[in-house]
A and B are shown apart, each in its own frame.
Chain A
């Protein structure tokens, strides 16, 4: 069974450009989460999808970040325009629907975004 897959693994872009990160969750997982780790800091929650619906987007930094999950399968996280402080590692995770709180979340390898 394939795990959570994230593309690209690394991205270097200039300030002001647009970048789109993609996450393919484990098949059948309704819950999909985005997290971010800025260098030297803790991993922070960005948002949570249940199928195609945004359940909680309280962690999204600002309106330069747009997440979608069309059809309830893969998800994209777009940053437009990117700023220097957006640099970090973006993790995606997925889990089963039932008992989300006590269900193991499976993480992807992350996308390392560097804004220069």
Chain B
């Protein structure tokens, strides 16, 4: 049972480039989330989804987009990367609201 899988683990982008962070879970969880963690800080919610075809903005959605075409996949798209998007990105999923999250291993992104 793989849990939540994120790829890539590391990436360096140039300013203005775009990329997609992949997130896949094999636990049949309906709820999925994208957070970013800046150095020494807590996690900030970027986008979330409560099921296939349903997504919504979190606290810090600017500069990002998501889609949820299947239960398993929840990719995060960065358009026109900026240095402020340098961060560690975590994808998480949850079976139900009371169960807490299962986190992926994270993607460390640097924008130069």
A, B: real partners: no
Chain A interface (Cβ < 8 Å from any Cβ of B)? none
